[in-house]
Amino acid sequence: MSTPAPGDSLPLVEQSPLPPAEVLAPPKPSPASAAGRIQYLDSFGYVFSHPDWFKNLLIFAVFALIPVLQTALIFGYLYEIAEYRHRRLAGPYPVFQFRRFAAYMTRGIWCFLVANIMQVILLPVVQFLTQGTMFGSMAALQSGDWGAVAVAVVVPLLIIGFMLFLLGLQVVVTPLMLRGGLSQDFGLMMNFRWIGHYLKTMWLETTLVCLFVLLTSMVILPLGCVLFCFGFYVALALMTLVQGHLHCQLYELYMARGGEPIPLRPLPAPQ
């Protein structure tokens, strides 16, 4: 369990997402750091370990319908789960609660900012690839048989290249999300020295985690759409909790390899 240095501690917020310090369980090595690798399927088992897991997914899915604010809300709850597990607090992970809406938004606002920066970067790339591929394909098809062959080869390569670009971008922003979601502080989030060291140490595991989330989402989210469309948001809630567990594993594996801890807000004092 990481302990923030005295100079790094942040002021205690009124709405703390975590129980008082006396409920801390005895420290245990994390499965990821003990095994030296990420336990992918354990992330699903962790979600289903809560006795009210289905009810929690339904409630969270309802709030994920909120437009505009849903990104901050999702990331806020994701990193509350990650911090709860990282601190080894007793009992199952905290369920989504309406009274903690403001706390989720406050925690997730910096991740929301990063997500919007990603959209600004992706928008011109998507427009260029979409328009360029469409007009290029039309011109190639009109040029004759070789044009059809070129389209059949180039278009799949462009799609693969774009997916690799998305994967690489996701890998780069993961440490930003980790620092923003766990520290809940913009200044601490923008520590490029830490981000560079994290990527140097954890680039392979982070890539595999992002790829795992991408591939499983491509299966689970469409299956959710079959369930009267609302199932999509239930599937999204499931993947959010899975990501929270995976990101906690990434952080703890990084710590096990000698990484610098992220300063966390202090737990509330025992009542």
Q: What is the pLDDT of residues 121-135, one digit of tens each?
A: 777 777 777 777 776
Q: Which of 39-43, 87-91, 222-226 has the highest mean pLDDT?
A: 39-43
- Both structure tokens of 251: 């952080």
Q: What is the pLDDT of residue 202?
A: 95
Domain residues of the chain, as ranges?
22-256
Q: What's the pLDDT tens digit per position in 23-71?
A: 444 445 565 655 578 999 999 999 999 999 999 999 999 988 888 788 8
- Which residues does 227 contact at the CB level (< 8 Å), separation at least 6? 234
Rounded distance between C-alpha atoms, residue 8 and residue 164, angstroms: 37
- Both structure tokens of 45: 């088992």
DSSP 3-state of 195: helix
Residue 209: name the closest of 247, 236, 251, 165 by CA.
247
Rounded distance between C-alpha atoms, residue 182 and residue 79, angstroms: 6
Average pLDDT, the chain: 81
- Region of residue 225 (phi > 0: left; psi between -120 and 50: alpha; otherwise: beta): alpha
**Which pTM value belongs to this model?**
0.78
Q: What is the pLDDT of residue 247?
A: 95
Are 89 and 23 in contact by the 8 Å Cβ rule? The answer is yes
